[in-house]
Structure 1
Amino acid sequence: MDTPPLKGTPVPRPATAADLPRLADVLADAFNDYAWTNWTIPTQDRHERIRALQLLYLKHAGLPYGMVWTVPDHTAVAAFLPSPIPDLPSAVLEQVTHAHGDRLAALLEAEELVAARRPVHDWVLATVGVAPTAQGHGLGRTVVSAGVEAIDGHGGTCLLETSDPRNLPFYRRLGFTTDALVSTPGPPVWIMTRTS
């Protein structure tokens, strides 16, 4: 896919370790009132828990094994991981477990239902977020397109999941199609894929 950036949109670049704290802030703000995180993360200290989780995943999975794309002012981020996703170290898994607190069982129950419906894929668009003050300017498309174009260079299928139906048109414009809608005890999950 060769999608030109929107006029005036910053050029995306791969993130570095130094970028990760700021990118975790962006993702924490973006997911602070998202249906899935509301279901799987306790209300108490939710914003801090989301930030901690995003930082863990970016640092221990996204950067070493996948691709993390951002823009110069850090207002947008998209992380892509290879499939299967590499196992996280036990110390990191303990932190993930702690962040989910008493919602961990709900997460695992929903994950079992969703996992059964995932088609075979090579990559996962694990997370994407745009700072609230920067939304509506094409930055989400910019960082997701950067990852999708890198995947297209090697061929393969990219999968994503969303619990917000408002996201579906955005992903469809980027070439993703809906494979399944999974009902869970919490929010529904749309599984979408894009094949190079």
Structure 2
Amino acid sequence: MNSVKFTQMKDGTREEYHFLDRLESEFNQALPERILKALSDLQHSLSGYQLSRLEHSLQSAARAEAAGADEEMIVGALIHDIGDELAPYNHSQLAASVIRPYVRSEVTWVLHHHGLFQNYYYAHHFDGDRNERDRYKDHPAYQLCVDFCEKWDQASFDPAYPTPNLEHFAPMVRRIFSRKPFDPAVIGEEYSLT
């Protein structure tokens, strides 16, 4: 079989769905390489900063690594802005969705909310509420997200900071995104994202 015969999903057969499942599994094995390509493409993303979005992402991950963060959080820091091109107004949620099947819930929560928490640094310049993040003050990952933004994200626009290239982080990306998706032993208890 080279392709299914159905034109509506409801008409698919068991054989066709097993065929598609096999193809999807094969396709998904290349996910780490697609993530690395998407990161590499950030080299030509938003302008105006002293660093490209790729360099910012690499620097965020480098700061996380230097602080002794575990591999899940380092990769989270690396991909936190991966959605900037396709989801400029909800890039945080896109990044969280990409990593969610492969990491513990607090990493997903931090990525999901980092855009809102970053408002602390500039929302007042637009007459916005820089403390909007405080509505999550009682959440178990609140302080982790505050620290993520303070120590790694907002601080990573420095062209003088020694930052490794993408190949340095590639083995971590490959390990994280090659995990069994939604493994309860990895994800643990899921946090509500709202």
With the length of structure 2 as denominator, give the TM-score of the two structures: 0.29
Greater share of strand residues, 1 or 2?
Answer: 1
With the length of structure 1 as denominator, give the TM-score of the two structures: 0.29
Look at both structures and tell me which one has the larger radius of gyration over its CA atoms: 2
Greater share of helix residues, 1 or 2?
Answer: 2
